[in-house]
A and B are shown apart, each in its own frame.
Chain A
């Protein structure tokens, strides 16, 4: 629910309920007040009847009263004191039924007991009450509408900086060095929010920069010790009295060092992509690059009897050459590495996408984490950085990459 809707809902509900309650109370009080007026009038008329009866020993005729209906009944004995009430009576003059107010009282005349009932029409008064009610309630209703309109406009206007803040937040990119844009506003709360966001974005950026710097420095610093290890291994290898076990150990050490080197290089590459250090792009003949890469991998595919099928359309891409090369290396390299003897690889390139599909030893990989750093299938000997690098490269060039597993084939698709 939008803020405006929520706000209006409360306003409308309380407004309407309030209006109803006030209307009811007002109408009721007004009715009561008008009834009292009629009652007083009826009492005066009764007094006149009494006077008349006392003087003339008779009741005045019906016609003697304007707008009134008067009835006399003889009753056995005095019972009732003065009594007011609402009634519906037949107005003989107007020839229709009307609501009215009546007054009943028993009285004695010429030693007989009578009940006198005087009825006055309420129609005129009801009309009066309606007018008064409308005069009061209509402006109140109008005011409520006006309030709704004003609040609609105000909310839109007042929350404008907030919407801008939201837009800015959504477009915030940790990797872009562009600073968070301040939104001009005179509302203190929004200014505070603005400052808080600017502050937090700067802190996050600074922390992130520190982490990147750390990774870069750590990787660089590690290169020299690894170089020393490598050099020492090369020196030890020259020793003339090397026996078989020592040789095996040396071979293992070489392998471990090579792995460490590769890990370091991969981390450095990720940092470089993150830092936009490899941003010079050129129009590349991607088809040619793919074809060259396949020739390069031929040695490995032929040796393991892996068949390679290609469907390559000429397509030029604006990419960093170095990164495009790594992208191909990693995707095609994986397809070869994780394949089995006599397997198959299909490489396709058209104007919309580049895809590598291969048979593999492993079953489906977890597509939610397959591109995450250090994720690897249990049997993989790599470090799990290859596909993370691919994803970084793809994102840097605003492409998309997807993975799925169908019919025993791993499919990686880069959409341009």
Chain B
């Protein structure tokens, strides 16, 4: 996938790009409004990550520009300003998603995947990994041909891992992904462990290989090693 990262904070930008590239994406960078404007005029992307507070302009203007040209790019706003109003304004202007800093790279990656899937494969929203296949839209999970039933949280976790294949996802990121603002309610991390345990058991029971690997209590990795 081809992704444009519009972010003025260099350190953050580098990390985002490294992470997305390591997942096999092609990334372009724009450190300010003008550079982003230029890139958008020259190339097509699958997804654009857009910081709203740029040194030389308002990111929302860039969004308006994109929508005016009726382009197909998915847009995810990434911003430090987490106000409800801005979120609503951004989504009303046609952004596909809204991510408030600070966020986990795994979360960003999952959101990018989701946006791209929604935008480009809206009819055929099937994610397949070896014997495992997930229909994201109708929330159906199959191992080989066997249907397995997952709770909503287990399903969300599985999709999250499928969007970050071969990556280590921290428990912190998992907790935030599932419980959002209420992440601190689950801060013993025991809750994640329980959900992970149940998810793994269900998959293995259905004859799926256990692709989850625990990394010293800090996180999990979903990979076919």
**Interfacial residues, chain A to chain B (CB-CB below 8 A):** 220-221, 223-224, 226-235, 237-238, 242-244, 247-248, 250-251, 254-255, 257-259, 261-262, 265, 268, 272, 277-278, 296-297, 299-300, 303, 322, 329, 333, 336-337, 381-382
Closest partner residue, chain A, to B168 (CB atom):
A237
Residue of B nearest to A259 (CB): B184
Tell me the nearest residue of chain A to B107, going by C-beta.
A234
Chain B residues with CB under 8 Å of chain A are 9, 11-12, 15-16, 18-19, 22, 80-85, 100-106, 167-168, 170-173, 176, 181-187, 191, 194, 215-219
CB atoms of B101 and A224 under 8 A apart: yes
Say yes or no: B168 contacts A238, CB within 8 Å: yes
C-alpha gap A230/B185 in the complex (Å): 20
CA distance A344 to B22 in the complex (A): 49
Q: Known: A228-B15, A242-B216. Is A300-B101 also a contact (CB below 8 A)?
A: no
Determine if B185 and A336 form an interchain contact, defined as CB atoms under 8 angstroms apart: yes
- Residues of B near A220 (CB, < 8 A) are 80-81
**Shortest CB–CB separation between residue B154 and chain A, in angstroms?**
13
The answer to whether A227 and B105 touch across the interface, beta carbons within 8 angstroms, is no
Chain A contacts for B85, CB-based, 8 A: 277
Tell me whether B218 and A248 are in contact (CB under 8 A): yes
Are A224 and B218 closer than 8 Å at their CB atoms?
no
- Contact across chains for B170 and A250 when beta carbons are under 8 A apart: yes
With the chains together, A265 CA to B82 CA distance in Å? Answer: 8
A259 to chain B: which residues have CB within 8 Å?
184
B101 touches A223 (CB 8 A): yes
Complex partner residue of A228 from B9, B183, B191, CB under 8 angstroms: B9
A251 engages B82 (CB within 8 Å): no
Q: How far is the CB of B182 from chain A (nearest CB, A)?
A: 7
What B residues does A255 contact at CB under 8 A? 172, 187
B82:A248 contact, CB within 8 angstroms = no
Q: How far is the CB of A358 from chain B (nearest CB, A)?
A: 15
A265 to chain B, nearest CB (A): 7
Can you list 23 A-B pairs with a CB-CB distance of less than 8 A? A226-B101, A227-B101, A227-B103, A228-B11, A228-B15, A231-B11, A231-B12, A231-B15, A232-B15, A234-B106, A237-B170, A238-B22, A238-B168, A247-B217, A251-B172, A258-B176, A259-B184, A261-B102, A265-B181, A277-B83, A300-B191, A329-B182, A333-B182
